[in-house]
Amino acid sequence: MMTKFYNNLKTALLLGSLTGLVMFIGHLIGGQTGVLIALVMAGVMNFVAYFFSDKMAIASVGAHEVGPDHPLYRITAQLAQRANMPMPRVYVSPQPAPNAFATGRNPNNAAVCATEGLLRMLDSNEVAGVMAHELAHVKHRDILISTIAATIAGAISYLGYMIMFSPSSGGDDEEGGSAFGPLGAILAMLLAPIAAALIQMAISRSREFNADKAGAEICGNPMYLATALEKIHMMAARVPMQVNPAYNALMIAEPRSMMRSIGNLFATHPPLEKRLMNLIGAETTGAFHAPGGLR
């Protein structure tokens, strides 16, 4: 419970940091007009993405919907009932790389998807652990949180471009330009989008920890997800997933082999070792027996 509280608090603080960064850059360009324009533009783009995110994400992996006759649907139905959630739409992607994700603007308009590679590689209990993780994302409305973070980060990036082309960016504060001079404007233009991306990735990692823990509670055994994550990570290095990098944060694991650098600051997911440690401490709620096998 304390871990969940800590991760939620960290998410709130990171969102606050993004908002503060927007206001700081707005001061650099000489007022709040640019902040308002950037927020409106980024908000419109992410509003569209939010309401159509399920269709966009599903189309990006070429997935098709499956019904009650499919083992993945039956496993997901049991988990949704166990979590007292509406039944999401269930999709399968033909991609050979093992991965899964959830999308949709709320629990009543949600979809979950797994790849053929994941269904071939994992046993039914491990698939249950993965789908429980995805249902936890839906239950916690993580897609909404991610959209808010993306909106603010997009505004920050746009403000960086505004600084670049602002005629007053090199002036002093009395002239209505940047209070920090041309050097401050240049630094803001270069560093602000990087800072925004770092904060956005940190929010994504925090939500993954929460979904891992809650997923273990839904399926009843943290080892189902733990062993699934080990297999997924092992195979991800060999079979990278063909997907737009914009959807990396949606997946249960990084969809392609990434070069870890600067303490994993640019990663959308926590390191495997930390996720496994987080799961080992998860409290179980009783054994879950998935119906049939997926072979």
pLDDT digits (tens, 9 = 90+) for 127-182: 999 999 999 999 988 877 776 776 677 667 666 666 666 555 444 444 444 445 56
pLDDT in tens, 104-141: 888 999 999 999 999 999 999 999 999 999 999 999 88
Sheet containing 110-115: give its strands across.
64-66, 89-93, 110-115, 100-104
- Domain annotation covers residue 289: no
Sign of CA dihedral 128, 132, 133, 135: positive
- Domain annotation covers residue 287: no
Pairing state between β 64-66 and 100-104: unpaired
- Domain annotation covers residue 286: no
In contact, 213 and 229? CB cutoff 8 Å: no
Residue 79 has pLDDT above 90, yes or no: yes
In contact, 160 and 193? CB cutoff 8 Å: yes
Q: Any idea which residue has 């950037």 for tokens?
A: 38
What is the rounded CA–CA span in Å between residue 217 and residue 236? 26
- Domain annotation covers residue 271: yes
Residue 282 has pLDDT above 90, yes or no: no
Give the amino acid at 153.
A
- Domain annotation covers residue 258: yes
What is the domain extent for residue 216? 2-280
- Domain annotation covers residue 295: no
Q: Which tokens hold the place of 161? A: 């471009």
Average pLDDT over residues 234-263: 73
Per the structure, the count of domains in the chain is 1
In contact, 181 and 168? CB cutoff 8 Å: no
- Domain annotation covers residue 217: yes
Give the amino acid at 104.
G
- Domain annotation covers residue 293: no
Catalytic residues: 134
